[in-house]
Chains A and B, each alone.
Chain A
Amino acid sequence: LSGVIDVAVVGAGPAGLAAALAAGDLGCEVTLIDAGSGPGGQMYHPAMLFPGRRPARRAAEHLPPGLARIRQARQVRHLAATSVGQAARDHDGMVTLSVGGLEGGAETTVEVRAVVLATGAAEVVLPFPGWDLPGVTTAGAAQALLQSQGVTVGRRVLVGGSGPLLLPVAAGLAQAGVRVVAVLEATPAPAARPRASGDAAVLARHGVPVRTGYAVVACLGTERVERAVVARLDRQWRPLPSSRYEEIVDAVHVNFGFSPELELPRALGCAEAPPASRPAAAVACDTDLATSVPGVFAAGAVTGAGRADVAELEGYLAGMSAARYLGRLTPDAYAERTRTLRDRLEHARQLDEAYPLPPGWLEWPDADTVVCRCEETRWSDIGAAVAGGARDLRAVTEVTGCGLGYCRGRVCGPALRYAVSAASGVP
């Protein structure tokens, strides 16, 4: 790595791949940086080649056709298994990124004229008693293990939470021979309308019930999850006491939406859009996907997009936007080239339903529930900190140490920010 790069794209999921292709097609020299071993990100896992794998799932075909072109894109240099440590924007508008391998080693500094942030999002998980027992994982973890390695965590499982990830994960597990006892979508019908989809058909064929307005509110076990307590929820997600029942399971896979990865956007000073009905803040963008920082663009889940097709369309637009910023496209040519794209994006966004996160889940944890998995902060510690005058998550962190562990609050942060805000009344 040397000299100045036209465009650095951070993240090789659908948004990042599309951005790299679009900017590359317009003559920009693109460097695509991603922690994964191959292109695809969390949405399209590079499948492992091993005996018995069905041909359709093999490595070469895991990307949709439009994005698979990344393998032949000459203008795009793909740095796999690489992450961006630090980022800063100089006075002259140049962005400096420090780039390094995953397992330590020397970091390299690169200078870039424009950046597309396609860093994606982490799964939001809400705490409940026993959520830290082995066998309880995010739905994304179950999906990643299954798609990329053919590994399943349990044989008799529940899939629960809220949002569009539940059905595909449950369908994949059912097809792999896992007994999926039920899919529990917390958002009550008819607000959650699982559209007639291939996933719904797969679940029906395997006799897997999809129950809306239900959630796993506790997991029981000693060395791993052995039983799950399921409850019916009211519209605010408060468990209805008489509705509680237990299921014998050896794994529970949960997801409550996504929280944008904001470390890099924050390092660059990008403004954020408030969470609205979503669980977490996202990078604020204009209609050209430019952030508040000149030369810095964003696309995909980091902007709040949920669906893969929205992320991909945003990626193409952000890539073209970066090319225009660098003078590779005139404003007229840009307007011409993006017209159809904008229409498709608008249409796709309409299908990208927001799943609300109502406050009834605050009744799920008990006093001893470990809410910060790293520092083992308990729910009662959070309550005591707020009662003692802490008004926001930063203040609670100072008192309790929650969010200061290995993961730097990326797992517990969204839920705790929500909980502290609800308790203190400070938004």
Chain B
Amino acid sequence: MGPDGMGPHRVRFSFDGAPLEASRGMTIGGALLANGIVSWRRTRVGGRPRGIFCGTGVCFDCLVDVGDRRAVRACLVLVGDGDEVQTSRSRRAAG
């Protein structure tokens, strides 16, 4: 256990301001799902909810903003200690 009571296998992050925990090594998408969150973006035309669909970086449904990194694919990028994950605001993906 570290001084904050967290085991070495856990990370702390936040989603739209709410503090959450996850296992180290999870992707952001996995970490959100593990916290019972299935959607974290809205489409720009119909405002339809989106979360994980392909899980392998193909579909770009799962975009989130992480700190100042915009439009990150939540299914590919690992969650890090202190990550501030937010509903994606960008129209276009970074890559």
Interface residues of A (CB under 8 A from B): 35, 42, 48-51, 102-104, 122-123, 132-138, 140-142, 144-145, 148-153, 223-224, 370, 373-376, 405-407, 410-411
Contacts and interface: CB of A to CB of B under 8 A. Distances in A.
Contact of A149 (B7, B9, B26, B69): B26
Contacts of B26: 48, 149, 151
12 contacts: A35-B76, A50-B9, A123-B54, A134-B49, A136-B53, A137-B53, A138-B53, A138-B54, A138-B56, A144-B75, A145-B55, A224-B39
B10 to A, nearest CB: 9
Given A103-B77, A137-B53, A376 B25 contact: no
A145 B55 CA distance: 7
Q: In which size bucket is the chain B interface? A: 35 or more
Interface in B25-82: 25-27, 29-30, 33-34, 38-39, 43, 45-46, 48-61, 63, 69, 72, 75-77
B46 A373 contact: no
Contacts of A133: 49
Contacts of B58: 122-123, 407, 410-411
A132 B25 CA distance: 27
Interface of B: 7, 9, 23-27, 29-30, 33-34, 38-39, 43, 45-46, 48-61, 63, 69, 72, 75-77, 92-95
Given A141-B52, A145-B55, A49 B25 contact: yes
A135 B38 contact: yes
Interface residue SS majority, chain B: loop
A50 B8 CA distance: 10
A374 B29 CA distance: 18
B49 A224 contact: yes
B50 A134 contact: yes
Contacts of A153: 33, 38, 52
A145 B54 CA distance: 10
B15 to A, nearest CB: 14
Contact of A122 (B39, B51, B54): B54
A49 B53 CA distance: 24
Max chain B Cβ within 10 angstroms of own Cβ: one of A134, A145, A375, A411: A134
A123 B61 CA distance: 15
Contacts of B9: 50-51
Contact of B55 (A51, A132, A144, A407): A144
Contact of A376 (B48, B63, B72, B76): B48
A207 to B, nearest CB: 25
Contacts of B53: 132, 136-138, 141, 373, 411
Contact of B61 (A150, A152, A373): A373
Contact of B39 (A48, A144, A223): A223
B1 to A, nearest CB: 13
Nearest to A104: B95
A149 B52 CA distance: 14
B23 A373 contact: no
A141 B51 CA distance: 11
Nearest to B77: A103
A42 B61 CA distance: 18
Contact of B25 (A35, A137, A149): A149
Contacts of A150: 23
A219 to B, nearest CB: 12
Contacts of A122: 54, 56, 58
A373 B48 CA distance: 10
A132 B87 CA distance: 18
A410 B93 CA distance: 15
Given A49-B25, A224-B39, A145 B30 contact: yes
Contacts of B93: 406
B64 to A, nearest CB: 13
A49 B23 CA distance: 10
A223 B56 CA distance: 22
Contacts of B50: 132, 134, 373
A299 to B, nearest CB: 19
Nearest to A142: B55
B39 A42 contact: no
Contacts of B55: 137-138, 140-142, 144-145
A141 B54 contact: yes
A410 B59 contact: yes
Contacts of A134: 38-39, 49-52
A252 to B, nearest CB: 11
B38 A405 contact: no
Given A151-B30, A153-B33, A42 B24 contact: no
